[in-house]
Structure 1
C-alpha cells in the first residue's frame, strides 16, 4: 500500500525528532545555544533538524520550494518562496526557548502551501507523541482521530495571550480591554502546543502579535478545520505568503468575535 502524504511527513518528523532533537533535550552545552536576537534563541538541534527535514521533504515532493526558519534567518530572500506554486514551510524546533532551558513544550511544525494558501499542516509533539494534522477541506485530526474544537466551558473564557513581541502600549491595551472579559493565563511559548490547546478545551482564545509562517500556517489551518477560527484581527484570512502582525485564534467563531470586539 502506498503511504499517504501524512504518513510520509509524520514518519519524517518522528525520525528527525528522535535523531536530532530528543538526544539533546536537557543535555545542551552552552556553546550549542545561540541568541539570534533578543529573546530569540537557536540551538544546534534547530539547525540539524531543519537540514534533515528539508532533505526529507525534498524527497517526498521534489517540485516544492522550501522555506525553513533558520534558512530564512540566514537569507531573507528565502521568504520570497512562500508564494510558490508549491512550498514546504518548516519550523524545525518550535519552542526553542523552552527546549534550550530543558523545559517542555516544544515540537516540529510543517505546512504545505500552494500559491500562498495553506493546503496541509502537521504539528508534532515529540514528548507527548501527539500528531495534529489537517488538510484543507478534510477536517482536523489528532493521532488519526477526527476532532471538533471545543471551548473550555468556563464562565469567563480563558485567554492565552502572547505579549512577548508587543510594545508597552500594546500590552497596556490588552490588559485594559481584554482582561475584564477573559481569564488571562500564561502562554506555552510554543505554537505547536498553543493551537492544540485552543481546540482541546484548555484555552478559548489567543492573540499573536508576530505571525511568521513557520509558526502559524499549519496551526491556523488545523484550528479552522476543527471548527474553531483563526484569522487576522479584521477577520481576513491568514496567508503564509503575506507579512504583517496581529492574529486572533479561538475555539469557536463566536469566541473569535468576542475577542475581536475587545481589540482596539
Structure 2
C-alpha cells in the first residue's frame, strides 16, 4: 500500500477534529442530541460532533480512493445494510467520535478512528487523539508509527500484568466472577468505552491486556491493525484473526504475543469466550 496515504488521512482527520469536534468540547455544543438503542439493551449516545465529523470524514476519505465504499457508525445506525459493504472490495470504516459519553461530559478519553479494509481484512488503521494531538498509524505489512516515528511495543515486564476489562457484560454476575478469577494473577481495572484510547495504551505498555466483548468494526479495525503491526497481538479468543465483516463477539488485545497466549489459555480454562450472548449447551 502506498505510504503517502497516511499523511493524506491524517490531514483529513485533523481537519475534521478541528472543524467538528474540538469547537464543541466543553461547551453546550457537546450535549447529546440522540441516544441509539442497541440490540443487547445498551445504548450509544450521539452528539452533533459525531454527525458533522462523520460527514466530513466520509466525503473527504471517499475522494482519496475513487470507488471505495464508506461505512460510518452513524450511517449504519440508519442503514444497517451498509455493513454488507465491509466484504465488498475496498472500504473505509469511520468512527467519527469514539468515547462520545466522555466527550459529552467534558472529559476524556475520546478520539477519531479510521480504517481501510480490503474484502473484510484491515489493511490501514489511523487513530487521532484530538486532546493531545497524538496520531497513530499502521499499514498492513509496513509497521506502525506514532506521530510519524516508527513504533514497536516492548514485552510485558510486570509480575502482575495490568488487565483492563470491558464493562459491556449484560450479566453483571458473570463479569464479577470473571474479574475475581483474573484478579488472582493480574491487576484488573475497568476499561472505559473508548477503543481509540485503549489500543495506544496497550501498545505503550500502560495496560498489558484489554478484554473486549463487543467488537464493532469502527471501534476495532484501526486499533487491531495498529497493535499487530507494532508487535503486539489482537485476535479473537480462539486465535483467529479479526475481520471487519465478522460479526462475532470477543477480542483479546495484548502488548505482546506471549501474554496474549497466556490470557487466552486462562479464559479457555474458565470457559469464557467474551461473547455477549452465550449459546445454550
Give the TM-score band, short-chain normalised.
over 0.9
Please give the per-residue CA displacement for 1:106-154, whole angstroms capped at 9, x wherever unaligned.
1100000001111100000011110100000011110111111124522
For 2:259, which of 250, 255, 259 is the aligned residue? 255
Residue ranges of structure 2 left out of the alignment (5+ in a row): 272-281
In structure 1, distance between residues paired with 2:33 and 2:184: 39
2:277 corresponds in structure 1 to: none
Q: Does 1:60 align with 2:64?
A: yes
DSSP 3-state at the match of 2:28: coil
Once structures 1 and 2 are overlaid, which stretch shifts more, 228-237 or 184-193? 184-193
In structure 1, distance between residues paired with 2:32 and 2:219: 22
In structure 2, distance between residues paired with 1:30 and 1:252: 37
Q: Does 1:109 align with 2:113?
A: yes
So what's the TM-score if we normalise by structure 1? 0.95
Counterpart contact for 1:191–1:219, Cα < 8 Å: yes
In structure 2, distance between residues paired with 1:29 and 1:58: 27
1:6 corresponds in structure 2 to: 6
Once structures 1 and 2 are overlaid, which stretch shifts more, 173-182 or 14-23? 173-182
- Structure 2 matches for 1:110-259, cutoff 5 A? 110-151=114-155, 153-259=157-263
In structure 1, distance between residues paired with 2:160 and 2:65: 45
Once structures 1 and 2 are overlaid, which stretch shifts more, 104-113 or 157-166? 157-166
DSSP 3-state at the match of 1:161: strand
CA deviation after TM superposition for structure 1 residue 244, in Å: 0.9
2:279 corresponds in structure 1 to: none
DSSP 3-state at the match of 1:47: helix
CA deviation after TM superposition for structure 1 residue 179, in Å: 1.6
CA deviation after TM superposition for structure 1 residue 170, in Å: 3.1
So what's the TM-score if we normalise by structure 2? 0.90
In structure 2, distance between residues paired with 1:9 and 1:43: 23
In structure 2, distance between residues paired with 1:130 and 1:7: 13
Alpha-carbon spacing, 1:27–1:8, altered in 2? closer, same or farther (3 Å) = same
1:86 corresponds in structure 2 to: 90
Residue-pair matches, total: 263
Alpha-carbon spacing, 1:211–1:240, altered in 2? closer, same or farther (3 Å) = same
Once structures 1 and 2 are overlaid, which stretch shifts more, 39-48 or 2-11? 2-11
Residue ranges of structure 1 left out of the alignment (5+ in a row): none
In structure 2, distance between residues paired with 1:70 and 1:197: 26
Counterpart contact for 1:151–1:199, Cα < 8 Å: no
CA RMSD of aligned residues (A): 1.6
Alpha-carbon spacing, 1:256–1:60, altered in 2? closer, same or farther (3 Å) = same
Alpha-carbon spacing, 1:152–1:86, altered in 2? closer, same or farther (3 Å) = same
Counterpart contact for 1:149–1:226, Cα < 8 Å: yes
